[in-house]
């Protein structure tokens, strides 16, 4: 993650006093990311990562450290939170919270090769196998990425338009589209990563050895995470939905976690929910000069032109 706050050696030593991690030898901020401050700490006992949360509540952070501890216990390759001398996972410095994690060796890559690409679906599936049915403490403080969440964001953003008519029209459109989505109560839930970006994965050769950044993780329908995965890797940077790419990603995922027929049928809805989330986030503001809401609207039109049954056939038949 990009460092927002700069720490002096004296400040880092003050924090390390509360841990049995040895004496500080050196430190450097990480270059990757945009939200929290992450700093690599080299001590006499090894390498560790200080994560300083710029704008997160205590409960929000406790959700993250608790699930990472849970995943670590299930031998999943993610950062392990380290308890301080008081037995706590998080501390507070200058009115903001922080946690320290072990350092995962490996390298970040810009673009996966053919072999590395197979790891993407594999490790998302492994995560879902572990998290299915697991509802951690403080789950309710995280974004659920469900219908209510999307509409609640949009309602706030609608007030930013100078033209009340434009805000109301967009809000009504989004409400109508969301109401068309029918989700089965039998869809399994669990902890979803929420940001399966290449910058959040570390490789050793062709193998994933670390899954990072659970800042967007939440407890919701697992098919939403599968949909987000497919959307990110098969459509987000593509002009058209790449069905060939999507089938390949799903094939890798299905080797490690089978989707029920209900989940397969609702992947169509999951993709729509991903789009609704973006429409909520970018209801008013633009991204690099582009009106994301309009872009998403066109993608909804494309999905409707394909239809649920044909979409299912193109991916699973």
Is there a single domain that holds both residue 231 and residue 138?
yes
Say whether both 239 and 205 belong to one domain.
yes
Burial annotation 98-127 (CB, 10 A radius, 16+ → b, else e): bbbbebbebeeeeebeeebbbbbbbbbbbb
Same domain flag for 31 and 64: yes
How far is the CA of 259 from the CAs of 187, 265, 276, in angstroms?
Answer: 10, 10, 23
- The sign of the CA dihedral 252, 135, 77, 199 is positive
User: Do residues 194 and 309 both lie within one domain?
Assistant: yes
Q: Could you tell me the pTM of the whole model?
A: 0.93
The CATH number linked to 90 is 3.30.200.20
Enclosing domain of residue 307 = 114-316
Within a domain: 204: yes
Domain end among 102, 131, 153: 102
Q: Does residue 237 form part of some domain?
A: yes
Tell me, yes or no, whether 86 and 174 share the same domain.
no
Residue at 312 is within a domain: yes
Q: Are residues 91 and 167 in the same domain?
A: no
Q: Are residues 247 and 299 in the same domain?
A: yes
Same domain, 80 and 177: no
Q: With CA atoms as reference, report the closest residue to 62 among 92, 102, 39.
A: 92
- End position of a domain, from candidates 102, 137, 153: 102
Question: pLDDT tens, position by position, for the chain (317 residues)?
Answer: 445 778 999 999 999 999 999 999 999 998 765 678 999 999 999 999 999 998 899 999 999 999 999 999 999 999 999 999 999 999 999 999 999 999 999 999 999 999 999 999 999 999 999 999 999 999 999 998 899 999 999 999 999 999 889 999 999 999 999 999 989 889 999 999 999 999 999 999 999 999 999 999 999 999 999 999 999 999 999 999 999 999 999 999 999 999 999 999 999 999 999 999 999 999 999 898 899 999 999 999 999 999 999 999 999 99
- What are the Cα distances from residue 245, in Å, to 177, 254, 270, 297, 312? 27, 14, 17, 22, 15
The C-alpha atoms of residue 173 and residue 187 are separated, in whole angstroms, by 26
What's the structural domain count of the chain?
2
Identify which of 67, 81, 175 has the alpha carbon closest to the alpha carbon of residue 127. Answer: 67
pLDDT of residue 214: 96
């Amino acid at each position: 993650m990009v460092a927002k706050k700069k720490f002096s050696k004296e400040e880092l030593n003050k924090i390390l006093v509360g841990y049995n991690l040895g004496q500080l030898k050196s430190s450097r901020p990480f270059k990757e990311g945009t939200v929290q401050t992450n700093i690599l700490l080299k001590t006499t006992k090894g390498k560790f990562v200080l994560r300083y949360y710029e704008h997160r509540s205590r409960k929000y952070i406790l959700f993250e450290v608790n699930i990472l501890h849970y995943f670590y216990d299930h031998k999943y390759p993610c950062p392990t939170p380290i308890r301080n001398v008081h037995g706590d996972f998080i501390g507070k410095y200058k009115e903001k919270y922080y946690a320290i994690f072990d350092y995962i060796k490996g390298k970040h890559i810009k673009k996966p090769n053919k072999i590395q690409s197979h790891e993407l679906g594999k490790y998302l599936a492994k995560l879902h196998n572990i998290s299915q049915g697991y509802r951690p403490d403080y789950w309710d403080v995280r974004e659920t990425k469900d219908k209510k969440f999307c509409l609640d964001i949009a309602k706030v953003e609608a007030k930013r338009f100078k033209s009340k008519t434009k805000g109301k029209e967009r809000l009504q459109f989004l409400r109508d589209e969301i109401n068309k989505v029918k989700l089965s109560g039998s869809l399994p839930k669990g902890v979803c990563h929420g940001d399966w970006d290449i910058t959040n994965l570390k490789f050793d050769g062709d193998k994933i050895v670390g899954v990072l950044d659970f800042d967007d993780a939440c407890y919701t329908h697992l098919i939403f995470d599968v949909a987000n995965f497919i959307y990110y890797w098969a459509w987000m940077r593509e002009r058209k939905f790449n069905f060939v790419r999507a089938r390949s990603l799903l094939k890798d995922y299905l080797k490690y976690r089978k989707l029920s027929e209900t989940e397969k049928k609702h992947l169509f809805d999951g993709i729509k929910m991903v789009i609704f989330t973006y429409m909520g986030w970018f209801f008013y503001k633009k991204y690099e000069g582009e009106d994301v809401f309009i872009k998403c609207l066109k993608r909804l039109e494309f999905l409707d032109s394909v239809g649920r049954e044909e979409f299912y056939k193109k991916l699973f038949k």
